[in-house]
Amino acid sequence: MIIIPITANDEDEGANSDDEGGGFQTGIAVKAKPKTKKPALYKVLLLNDDYTPMEFVVQVLEQFFNKTQEEATRIMLHVHRRGVGLCGVFTFEIAETKVMLVMDYAKRNQYPLQCIMEKE
Ligand code: TYC
C-alpha cells in the first residue's frame, strides 16, 4: 500500500468554475499498490557425460542460448571439468522450452546430453 499526501486542490468543480471558496483538502489518500509480482526464475543447466562431442555442446550453447563461440567454449569446458554448468536464467516457460529443444536436438543426434532446469 502507498500513501499519497494531498497538496493540491482536489475538488471536482469542473473546468469553468470560479473557485472562490478556497476548497482545498488536506490529508492522505490511500491507494492500493498495483500488484506486479516478479516471476520466479529458473536456471537452465547442462550436465556432463562421456559421449557427447565437445563441438556439439558448443553448438548447442551458440544455437539455443545465443552464446558467442568463446563463451560457449568456456561453458562447455566448465561442464566437462566440473560436471554441471549454467546456460542461462529464464522464466518458467522459456526455461522449459529451452530444455525441451536441447533434449530433442541431442536425441535426434543420438547423444546422451542432459539439460535440466532448477528453480533459482
Ligand atoms: N565430456 C564430453 C567429452 O569429453 C564433453 C561434454 C561437455 C559433454 C559438456 C557434455 O554437457 C557436456 N566429449
* pLDDT (tens digit per residue) in 47-67: 999 999 999 999 999 999 999
Q: How far apart are CA 77 and CA 85, in angstroms?
A: 9
Q: Which residue has the higher pLDDT, 21 or 52?
A: 52
Residue 86's closest CA among 117, 111, 40?
117
* CA–CA separation, 27 and 48 (whole Å): 63
Spacing, Cα 40 to ligand 1 middle (Å): 29
Q: How far is the CA of 86 from the centre of ligand 1 (A)?
A: 14
Ligand 1 pocket, residue 48 CB under 6 Å: yes
Global pTM value = 0.75
Q: How far apart are CA 9 and CA 24, in angstroms?
A: 5
Residue 54 Cβ contacting ligand 1 at under 6 Å: yes
Measured in residues, the chain has a length of 120
